[in-house]
Amino acid sequence: MMIVETDSDPALWFHMPLGGTKSEFAQWLDLQLDASAMLHQRKLTWREKRQMKKFLEGSAAMLRDRIGADQGFIFGPMPPQAAPLVFFTKQFACDEEHSVAHLKMLAEPDPTVTVPGQRVETTPFVSPHFGEGIRCLRSWTGPDGVLMLSVTYAWNAAEHGIDLVLKGHYDDPALLEASFDAIDDFARTIRLTPASSSS
């Protein structure tokens, strides 16, 4: 597996560990709370700390156990009282350059599954590291009637023999929409590095 690295501002985007021991993850959580407090220039309340820890623990477990994500990233500037915005990457082995239709299969939802209120908008998205890929913006109505949004990016990195997907979703459309420019900027910064040479 290649390692996804980013040149994004480390004060805004944080790597989320999906492996390691419980103790190591607990240490990372404490560092994450400290980073959030520094970013927002105030102490977090006990309730905010508890909510953030619970959300991040659940997110890491879901990404690791249910989604099988390779790596996770967190966007820091969300308000401390809101859930953090979590993104993940997945890599798929391929042996040729794929078409836009193939990338759409990776990024878009299964067309045979009916989802209430679903809308899908797919547009080209160029990365300086991978060239032209696609970005898929999806909205749908959750089980409790809440509007959900997700954004998925997909590229074919032919030189590495990999299709790469970057994805995140959020249940606060206004906050996600307000962060679109920063998310697009982050997507443009990610690159692939062989695991053996990653620092």
DSSP output for 90-109: EEEE-SSPPPHHHHHHHHSP
Answer yes or no: are the C-beta atoms of 120 and 182 closer than 8 Å: no
What is the C-alpha separation between 34 and 44, in angstroms, rounded? 9
* pTM for the predicted model, two decimal places: 0.90
**Once rounded to an integer, what is the mean pLDDT over residues 156-184?**
88
**Residue carrying the six token digits 């659940």:** 58
Q: For residue 42, what are the CA distances in angstroms to 8, 15, 30, 35, 48?
A: 23, 22, 15, 11, 12
Beta strands at 119-127 and 131-141: parallel, antiparallel or unpaired:
antiparallel
Q: Name all contacts of 22-31 with Cβ < 8 Å and 24+ positions apart.
A: 25/57, 25/60, 29/53, 29/56, 29/57
Q: Is the pLDDT at 18 greater than 70, yes or no?
A: yes
**Residue carrying the six token digits 């809308």:** 119
Q: What is the pLDDT of residues 89-146, one digit of tens each?
A: 999 988 766 778 888 998 998 888 888 889 999 999 999 999 999 999 999 987 788 8
- List % helix, strand, coil for the chain (3-state, nearest 5): 35, 35, 30
Answer yes or no: are the C-beta atoms of 97 and 158 closer than 8 Å: yes
What is the C-alpha separation between 120 and 137, in angstroms, rounded? 6
Average pLDDT, the chain: 89
User: Is residue 170 very low, low, confident or very high in pLDDT (cuts 50, 70, 90)?
Assistant: confident
Other CB atoms closer than 10 Å to residue 182's CB: what's the count?
17
**Residue carrying the six token digits 């590291």:** 129
Model pLDDT, residue 155: 95
Q: Coil, strand, or helix at residue 24? A: helix
Q: Is the pLDDT at 17 greater than 60, yes or no?
A: yes
